[in-house]
């Protein structure tokens, strides 16, 4: 049993923290809202600040929405950094800027501690099922110590490289997912507009080279018009913004990523920021003046 801190108890953080506590780890938690009663009932100890969490835990995990939230959780006056002592490990499992991550890691290392960036893929379902994919950047020595905790939250766990490389991997993941959603949306929209049954087209495609998890799960969402989130469009917009911002900084063109972002933007303009990201197809349907299944 080890002393683990967890800052950020949202849709993803709650079940992730619960898995750690269920395995018997001493768990110290903090969020801007009161900790869920179910987690407290499990034996988690609520702390008044990130600083208080860091003072009591040996490994401190953050799981918050975006880069500014991580910066605040780490470096505000009552943040995690203020409670660190040499030898502790900070693990950020949020999805944030790879470049800022490297700067955060340097500041934590200057305090005599180690830093891992470990963003995840798999969404709320993966968090609840402890089946997340975890992409890790940072020193191998810290990874070895924290891996047993990762194994309580995920299944596919990879040390990608140094600090920032985990976040780079997550951004790459989000590029692939967004572009695949766009491709599946176009394909099913084409089939429907041509008069074919999109459900049967999807079934046929699932047996061929075009098969993918996005076609399986999000293709079904598109056909059944089931756009309750899973993973909200506004969160995918944030991730693609990370990709496009970093690409500009390194002089790289990502034309199809930019197109996918514009389709998400169109959904957002129609009040869809909280739709599941599979609802990107609604922007394509608007352009075609046709809805899948009509």
pLDDT at 230: 81
pLDDT at 236: 95
Task: Write down the pTM of the prediction.
Answer: 0.91
pLDDT at 294: 62
Pick the catalytic residue from 170, 200, 224, 238.
170
For CA atoms 140, 145, 149, 151, the dihedral sign is: positive
∠ CA 24-43-131, nearest 5°, is 50
Establish whether 273 is a catalytic residue.
no
Those residues of the chain that have pLDDT short of 50 are: none
Structure tokens at 130: 């402890």
pLDDT at 293: 76
pLDDT at 1: 57
pLDDT in tens, 186-216: 999 999 999 999 999 999 999 999 999 999 9
Residue carrying structure tokens 């975006």: 66
């Amino acid at each position: 049993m080890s002393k683990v801190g967890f800052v950020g108890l949202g849709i993803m953080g709650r079940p992730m923290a619960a898995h750690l506590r269920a395995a018997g780890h001493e768990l110290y938690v903090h969020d801007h809202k009161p900790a869920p009663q179910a987690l407290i009932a499990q034996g988690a100890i609520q702390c008044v600040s990130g600083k208080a969490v860091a003072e009591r835990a040996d490994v401190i995990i953050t799981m918050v929405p975006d880069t500014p939230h991580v910066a605040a959780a780490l470096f505000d006056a009552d943040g995690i950094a203020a409670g660190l002592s040499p030898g502790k490990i900070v693990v950020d499992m949020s999805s944030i800027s790879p470049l800022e991550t490297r700067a955060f890691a340097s500041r934590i290392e200057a305090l005599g501690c180690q830093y891992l960036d470990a963003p995840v893929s798999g969404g709320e379902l993966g968090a609840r099922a402890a089946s997340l994919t975890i992409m890790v950047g940072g020193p191998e020595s810290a990874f070895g110590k924290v891996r047993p905790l990762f194994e309580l939250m995920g299944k596919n766990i990879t040390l990608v490289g140094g600090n920032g490389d985990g976040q780079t991997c997550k951004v790459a993941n989000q590029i692939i997912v967004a572009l695949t959603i766009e491709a599946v949306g176009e394909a099913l929209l084409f089939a429907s507009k041509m008069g074919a049954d999109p459900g049967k087209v999807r079934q046929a495609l699932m047996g061929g080279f075009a098969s993918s998890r996005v076609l399986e799960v999000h293709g079904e969402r598109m056909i059944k018009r089931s756009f309750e989130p899973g993973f909200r469009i506004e969160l995918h917009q944030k991730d693609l913004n990370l990709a496009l911002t970093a690409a500009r900084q390194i002089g790289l063109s990502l034309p199809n990523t930019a197109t996918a972002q514009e389709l998400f933007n169109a959904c957002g303009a129609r009040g869809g920021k909280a739709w599941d990201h599979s609802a990107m197809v609604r922007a394509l349907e608007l352009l075609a003046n046709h809805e899948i299944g009509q």
